[in-house]
Chains A and B, each alone.
Chain A
Amino acid sequence: MPDTSTAAEIRLEKLTKVYPGSDEPAVKDVSLTIPAGEIVVFVGPSGCGKTTTMRMINRLIEPTSGDIFLDGENVTHMDASKLRRRIGYTIQKIGLFPHQTIFDNVATVPRLVGWDDQRTTDRVNDLLDLVGLDPSTYGERFPKELSGGQQQRVGVARAMAADPPVMLMDEPFGATDPITRERLQNEFLRIQADIGKTIVFVTHDIDEAIKMGDRIAILKEQSVIAQYDTPENILSAPASEFVSDFIGSGASLKRLNLARVRDVEIDQMLTVTADTPATEMRRILEDLDRTTLLLLDDEGRPIRWLTAKDIDKISGTRTADTVGMPVIALVEPQATLQDALDEMLRSNGGCAVVVDGQKRYQGTVDMETAIDAIRNLREISEEHLRKERDAGSPAAGASATREEGAA
């Protein structure tokens, strides 16, 4: 995708919100720099003011005091509607316009900022493709004709439509079931790898924060920043008891959310297609001393696991794709090891098949690989911390400062 606009840095300075009729501020003196092109996750218990803080960035909530800078420009007092056209916005409840087609929904901001029809049409079609919805099939449908996951994809496409340098996402995948959520998260990470926007992402789920965030801001009451750091550092060195309580037990397990399938060594299975004669299959198993084969379809997509017993069942009337165990556990390279382990456990197997965006076979990853990877991660981060401590670096695991964020 030809993206010309660059991501913008967001800087919040002593941002405070006091609601009328309340003595205590809902958000108190938040200062924070969100580096251009990174995903920063605001995470914290409910009522900590994370959504309020996010909504002050596009001024859906007007700050009582403090300043907001976008790419160095003070936007605290500019026309709010104009500001919002530069900031993508998605929310948990999506809020698609029910009386407009999917195409018109996505075209909202490009039309607002005066793009011509051709440019708008091209952009909307590109975006629908990008989020995996065929424009000719879905463009003229209405939101209620789409599933929850599809609507969520449209919501993300709509937020990106005018190519804003900054996006705000308030629990964008929170309303979907776990499997759809995992898929949407992975798709979004794949898209972000291409577009590199500055993204503020709000969630209450620390696992999601670890998975999605380049940095995480853990917020406590009144949006006071308890720690602002990379997921690795937050897991290795929680800055306070509040942070370690919030991460909860099993910090090592949570590292599974940090490592991606593409980072670990992928194994190769023996693969056959339905055209392969049964005798040939048996020969391969015996020659190479393996117990299972992976059956691929014509497009190279995995469909069945075949053992020697399964192969015996193949006859003139039973083709290879009707015997053996169906392949259930599928992961994409950008999925986390946590996702991969989930898939393995769900499918009752010891390994998951890695596939690309078109569901074509890439390799497999098994449980031992995943566990080794976690062990490595922990050693690396402990090593890293030890070095920082030895060097007397003040930044290690300390609570956030603007300088650190900007570094």
Chain B
Amino acid sequence: MSSTTASAGALTEGPTIPRWLRYAGTPVVLALVTWATLAWVFSQDLLSRETALLNTEKIVDETIQHLYLTVVATLVVLLIAIPLGIMLTRPWSKPVRPLFLGLANLGQATPSFGVLVLVAAITGNVGNGVAIFGLVVYATLPVLRNTMVGIQQVDDHVIDAARGMGLSPLQVLLRIELPLAVPVMLAGVRTTLVIVVGTAALAVFVGGGALGLYIQNGIQLASTPVLVTGAVLTAVLALAIDWLGGIAEDLLRPKGL
């Protein structure tokens, strides 16, 4: 998450690194690492049970599956956590605020592996649905908390002026509070994305497949090429998504802040 905090300083950053270089540097490095890893993997003498996993088609499939779990889980988190976060900043919701924050905290405090397995055990099910459910439980807190903090940190005087000029409560929310909360909310979304993309590697234990498959099989088969493929691709995917998140934060931050 250090990348998240680092991005907060991007505004004050001097002209040391040009923006295009910051944007272009990461994908170049990630592509090189991926290429080097795969080149090394395919140069090894592979057993048949290894080639069943280590072929382009299978790797692409599982990468897509990994992305699928990440994107769907994150979207579900946004759908739940943003409206909930807005609701919990309204004055009338004060009594229930600790309850929801407690639940979200609980979800994140429980080890992610535990959450996934627990969900599978309780529902008696495996597959994408269970994996996504577990990821959502685990990764809701950053978006929820940042939505609340983002709205609460808006200057009271700005809101007072807006109300005093005759903006309705909904207009104050949509035109003032949410736009001003965007930078903090985006940081939360980026954190959630990174958590989800990393945790999705555990989806394999509840029948969710994805790149965790390589890590699990790599250990079981005692195969270094399989294990390295899974580990490196998961890391590359996480860094790539964090990179996209950083660009989104820069582009979507309101001007004038």
Q: How far is the CA of A95 from the CA of B165 in the complex (A)?
A: 11
In the complex, the answer to whether B256 meets A95 with C-beta atoms within 8 Å is no
Task: Indicate if A142 sits at the interface (CB-CB under 8 A).
Answer: yes
In the complex, the answer to whether B161 meets A96 with C-beta atoms within 8 Å is yes
A: interface residue count bin: 20 to 34
Task: Indicate if B179 sits at the interface (CB-CB under 8 A).
Answer: yes
User: Which stretch in B15-23, B51-59, B89-97, B152-160 binds the other chain?
Assistant: B152-160
Q: What is the minimal beta-carbon distance from B110 to any residue of chain A, in angstroms?
A: 38
In the complex, the answer to whether B256 meets A143 with C-beta atoms within 8 Å is yes
Task: Indicate if A307 sits at the interface (CB-CB under 8 A).
Answer: no
Q: What residues of chain B lie closer than 8 Å to A85, measured between beta carbons?
A: 165-166
Task: Indicate if A99 sits at the interface (CB-CB under 8 A).
Answer: yes
In the complex, the answer to whether B256 meets A158 with C-beta atoms within 8 Å is no
Map CB proximity to B onto A84-95 as digits: 1 under 8 Å, 0 otherwise. 111001110111
Beyond A99-B254, A100-B256, whether A109 also contacts B161 by CB under 8 A is: no
In the complex, the answer to whether B160 meets A91 with C-beta atoms within 8 Å is yes
Task: Indicate if A82 sits at the interface (CB-CB under 8 A).
Answer: yes
B: interface residue count bin: 20 to 34
Q: Residue among A84, A86, A159 with the most chain B CB within 10 A? A: A84
Q: How far is the CA of A108 from the CA of B161 in the complex (A)?
A: 11
Q: Residue among B160, B161, B255 with the most chain A CB within 10 A? A: B161
Q: What residues of chain B lie closer than 8 Å to A93, measured between beta carbons?
A: 155, 157
Which chain A residues in 154-168 approach chain B with CB under 8 Å?
155, 158-159, 168
Q: How far is the CA of A301 from the CA of B256 in the complex (A)?
A: 37
Task: Indicate if A290 sits at the interface (CB-CB under 8 A).
Answer: no
In the complex, the answer to whether A99 meets B166 with C-beta atoms within 8 Å is no
Q: How far is the CA of A112 from the CA of B174 in the complex (A)?
A: 14
Closest to A112 in B: B166
Beyond A91-B157, A144-B256, whether A98 also contacts B164 by CB under 8 A is: no
Which chain B residues in 165-186 approach chain A with CB under 8 Å?
165-168, 171, 175-176, 179-180
Map CB proximity to B onto A164-181 as digits: 1 under 8 Å, 0 otherwise. 000010000000000000
In the complex, the answer to whether B161 meets A95 with C-beta atoms within 8 Å is yes
Q: How far is the CA of A94 from the CA of B161 in the complex (A)?
A: 7
Which chain A residues in 344-371 approach chain B with CB under 8 Å?
none
Q: How far is the CA of A100 from the CA of B176 in the complex (A)?
A: 9
In the complex, the answer to whether A84 meets B164 with C-beta atoms within 8 Å is yes
Task: Indicate if B257 sits at the interface (CB-CB under 8 A).
Answer: yes
Q: What residues of chain B lie closer than 8 Å to A89, measured between beta carbons?
A: 161, 164-165
In the complex, the answer to whether B167 meets A95 with C-beta atoms within 8 Å is no
Q: Which of B166, B171, B257 contacts A98 (CB 8 A)?
A: B257
Task: Indicate if B162 sits at the interface (CB-CB under 8 A).
Answer: yes
Q: What are 6 of the A-B contact pairs (CB < 8 Å)?
A: A95-B159, A95-B160, A95-B161, A96-B158, A101-B256, A159-B165
**What would 12 more interface pairs be, CB under 8 Å, given A91-B164, A98-B180, A143-B256?**
A81-B163, A82-B166, A84-B165, A84-B166, A91-B160, A95-B161, A98-B257, A99-B179, A99-B180, A99-B255, A99-B256, A109-B165
B residues at A contact (CB < 8 Å): 155, 157-168, 171, 175-176, 179-180, 254-257
A residues at B contact (CB < 8 Å): 58, 60, 81-86, 89-91, 93-101, 108-109, 112, 142-144, 155, 158-159, 168
